[in-house]
A and B are shown apart, each in its own frame.
Chain A
Amino acid sequence: MGNQTNWNWDPAPESTDHVKIKEQYQLFIGGRFVKPANGEYFETVNPANEKVLAKVALADAADVDKAVKAARKAYSNVWSKMSGAERGKYIFRLARLIQERAREFAVIESLDGGKPIRESRDVDIPLVSAHFFYHAGWADKLEYAFPNKKPSPIGVVGQIIPWNFPLLMAAWKIAPALACGNTVVLKPAESTPLTALKLAEVIKDAGFPDGVVNIVTGDGGTGEAIVNHPGIDKIAFTGSTEVGKKIIRATAGTNKKLTLELGGKAANIVFEDAALDQAVDGIVEGIYFNQGHVCCAGSRLFVQEGIAEKLFRRLKHRINQLIVGDPLDKNTDIGAINSKGQLKTIQAYIKQGKKEGLEMFQPEIALPKKGYWCAPTLFFDVAQSSVLAKEEIFGPVLAIQTFRTVDEVIAKANNTPYGLSAGVWTDKGSKVFNLTSQLKAGVVWANTYNKFDPTSPFGGYKESGFGREGGVHGLEAYLNLN
């Protein structure tokens, strides 16, 4: 009888041999890669080791203007005149090329953003191509989607996307816009521009007409130039509620249409009749997926008191099994925090939790020395009035509360300025339906969490934004319906 203990796994890193990252990236305008007008570049780093991956062009207002003009020309001369079936062919081709180059995209996504390769390989990139496939299919069927209406494109669309799902958010924005006949000026997030630039290469390979998609990299100033450009007909933004509010102010009184997908502070509710171990898996998936950099993360956990102790023990046991480290290792469960700035933000919240005297749990693991890391964290008995329960932390930090009755938990779940998503865990179907009709959240998951599908609309209530992405509802955001 061998006494086998400490079966530790060797590193299993994904190969990077098939990936080429250039030293310097230009702007993608009018079907060409062009230098920025001011000649300025910024660095994008690998958050797992703080090494510079590439220099990326910083677009200013003049570059944005060029991109908008290119998009307008492509819109007026080619894309809006093309039949839906023809547009669909281009989008289908793009979807296939992304599938073919999925490994390349996945590795770059993990290098640039710090997310585990398991997620970029199994979640992000497959959803990206699924999103293009789904919308390609709509391109010639828009009149069927909106009976008795005459759907027509809006024009040139300015799109600003966040750093948590860089390529997936690009797909969520670009795919419906193109399917509906619009042209695009897209700005990727400052800390994660590389997959969008790789997408630009693939768009070129797919033979899209020049200027249909333009990608301008840069910082907040670049985004502002897009928002304020008079030649843009619609702004689609995903990001923080703070910036979202600024965009509303800036676009007020203009003819620009607007859709916003902003922050969240989702309630994940576990009833005492739930399948406990599966709920634990779902809690972990809800808060630690993508290091908690998820706007719909289940960041407030509500546990019914009768099972609280049992659930906490299982949750701690589960968290002790999570592997935190090299994003490129196939066994990594939690990767690197996206940027130094975000790490500071998260650490400030953890400090605040400690200051409040809350019971905290973190597994005893050694985090890598270089790079930006945060252990998965639990805070117990958090008050509804604590900042940990009120504010979006956007990191691997879970604020746990207990509850006693159904009415109580519904009231507390809705007691937030946000309303993007929620989760319900129970073995009882009637309880699920009761909750889904009363929770003020755009998405409510029952006995699962963080599931995404291009056919299903996604978006929020209240300060989580307006407009939907995905499904038929998502098409509406990119059409004039007369």
Chain B
Amino acid sequence: MLEHFKPVDQTAIEERCARIRTRSIKKGAKIEGLKMALGMIDLTTLEGKDTPGKVTQLCYKATHLHDELPNLPHVAAVCVYPTFVEQAVSLLKGSGVKVASVATGFPAGQTSREVKLADVKMAVDAGADEVDMVISRGEFLKGNHQFVFNEIAAVKETCGDARLKVILETGELGTLDNVAKASQIAIQAGADFIKTSTGKIKPAATMEVTLVMLEVIRDHYFETGRMVGMKPAGGISNAKLALHYLVMVKEILGEAWLDNHWFRFGASSLANDLILQLMKQETGVYQSGNYIALD
């Protein structure tokens, strides 16, 4: 089953992305798109220097994106290391914002199966709604697809009710053919979401990589009727680019995926640009960044 992989043509993928970028989203559709993107953000902090203070601020921002603008959604989730899950869960209780935790030796994943599963267990026990795992890129590039499959399946089992996002770290996979392959393996092993990147490697998410992953998701849906979510992460820092991604989701998967249950942006600075653009739509002029809170 794992040996039948989907060929991908890079040049044509680039052309399709360029074509998607020519879509012109204006007026009401733009406002709607900007708000939709805001509600799809996994607000993220994944740094060695993270502290409870930083996580508190992030969680507050998650539900108070910009109180001066009425009718803004809250973000989809807050994404933190396992050590901060318990805190985030208690801060976000009842808010509707999910708590996602990275795990499995994020970001490199260079540790044993036991340690990875313990990492996942720690996050889930602390109340994480979602787990963002990394695949073993070394094993994948060695051709050991079965290892990658088994690892994802084991993590999925450990997740229990938590939804599993599988990070392919496409910046380390080298080709779009590999991106398609890794996506197929992840989905067949039980991923609820496939995700491009950790944010620690460049390039992170690109439209080309995302397009390939969306096409694999659609293939799986056509074959089995099961929907899988998509999360491009890293490198999507402005509103215009976010709208291009939403256009892509609409055209490749359809409007059923235009929902934060099925599509997320892994981003930290995107939210402020979306807010800036929404303020521009409201007032007709651009505001200084100082009017929008950091965090």
Chain A residue numbers with a CB within 8 Å of B255 are 4-7
**CB proximity of B283 to chain A, nearest CB, Å:** 19
Contact across chains for B24 and A2 when beta carbons are under 8 A apart = no
B232 at the A/B interface (Cβ < 8 Å)? no
Chain B residue numbers with a CB within 8 Å of A273 are 7
Question: Which residues of B does A touch, CB under 8 Å?
Answer: 6-9, 11-13, 15-16, 22-30, 32-33, 36, 39, 73, 96, 215, 218, 222, 246, 250-251, 255-256, 258-261
Given known A-B contacts A1-B96, A2-B73, A4-B258, A9 and B12 have beta carbons under 8 A apart: no
Which of A165-173, A277-285, A392-400 contacts the other chain? A277-285
| Cα distance A118–B12 in the bound complex, in angstroms | 18
**CB proximity of B242 to chain A, nearest CB, Å:** 13
Q: Which residue of B lies closest to A12 (CB)?
A: B24
| Cα distance A277–B24 in the bound complex, in angstroms | 23
Chain A residue numbers with a CB within 8 Å of B96 are 1
A17 at the A/B interface (Cβ < 8 Å)? no
| Cα distance A424–B26 in the bound complex, in angstroms | 38
| Cα distance A281–B255 in the bound complex, in angstroms | 20
Q: Which residue of A lies closest to B256 (CB)?
A: A5
A-B residue pairs in contact (CB < 8 Å), sample of 29 = A1-B261, A2-B73, A2-B260, A3-B259, A4-B32, A5-B255, A7-B32, A7-B36, A7-B246, A7-B250, A7-B258, A9-B23, A9-B24, A10-B26, A12-B24, A274-B7, A275-B6, A275-B7, A277-B215, A278-B9, A278-B13, A281-B15, A310-B222, A314-B222, A321-B250, A330-B24, A331-B24, A447-B9, A448-B12
A50 at the A/B interface (Cβ < 8 Å)? no
Contact across chains for A278 and B12 when beta carbons are under 8 A apart = yes
**CB proximity of A249 to chain B, nearest CB, Å:** 43
Chain A residue numbers with a CB within 8 Å of B32 are 4, 7
Q: How many residues of chain A are within 8 Å of chain B by beta carbon?
A: 32
A140 at the A/B interface (Cβ < 8 Å)? no
Contact across chains for B259 and A275 when beta carbons are under 8 A apart = no
Contact with B along A1-26 (1 / 0, CB 8 A): 11111111111100000000000000
Q: Which residue of A lies closest to B214 (CB)?
A: A277
Question: Which residues of A does B touch, CB under 8 Å?
Answer: 1-12, 118, 122, 273-278, 281-282, 310, 313-314, 317, 321, 330-331, 427, 447-448
Chain B residue numbers with a CB within 8 Å of A321 are 250-251
Contact across chains for A12 and B36 when beta carbons are under 8 A apart = no
The residue that A9 contacts in the complex, of B8, B16, B29, B39, with Cβ under 8 A, is: B29
Most B C-beta atoms less than 10 A away, residue of A11, A275, A317, A447: A275
Contact across chains for B258 and A275 when beta carbons are under 8 A apart = no
**CB proximity of A21 to chain B, nearest CB, Å:** 24
Contact across chains for B16 and A281 when beta carbons are under 8 A apart = yes
List 5 other contacts, CB 8 Å, given A7-B255, A9-B24, A276-B7: A7-B36, A275-B9, A276-B6, A282-B12, A447-B12
Contact across chains for B28 and A10 when beta carbons are under 8 A apart = yes
Q: Which residue of B lies closest to A278 (CB)?
A: B12
Given known A-B contacts A2-B39, A4-B259, A9-B29, A330 and B22 have beta carbons under 8 A apart: yes
Contact across chains for B29 and A7 when beta carbons are under 8 A apart = yes
Chain A residue numbers with a CB within 8 Å of B218 are 317
Given known A-B contacts A4-B36, A278-B12, A10 and B29 have beta carbons under 8 A apart: yes
**CB proximity of B237 to chain A, nearest CB, Å:** 22
| Cα distance A3–B256 in the bound complex, in angstroms | 9
Chain B residue numbers with a CB within 8 Å of A275 are 6-9, 12
**CB proximity of A356 to chain B, nearest CB, Å:** 29
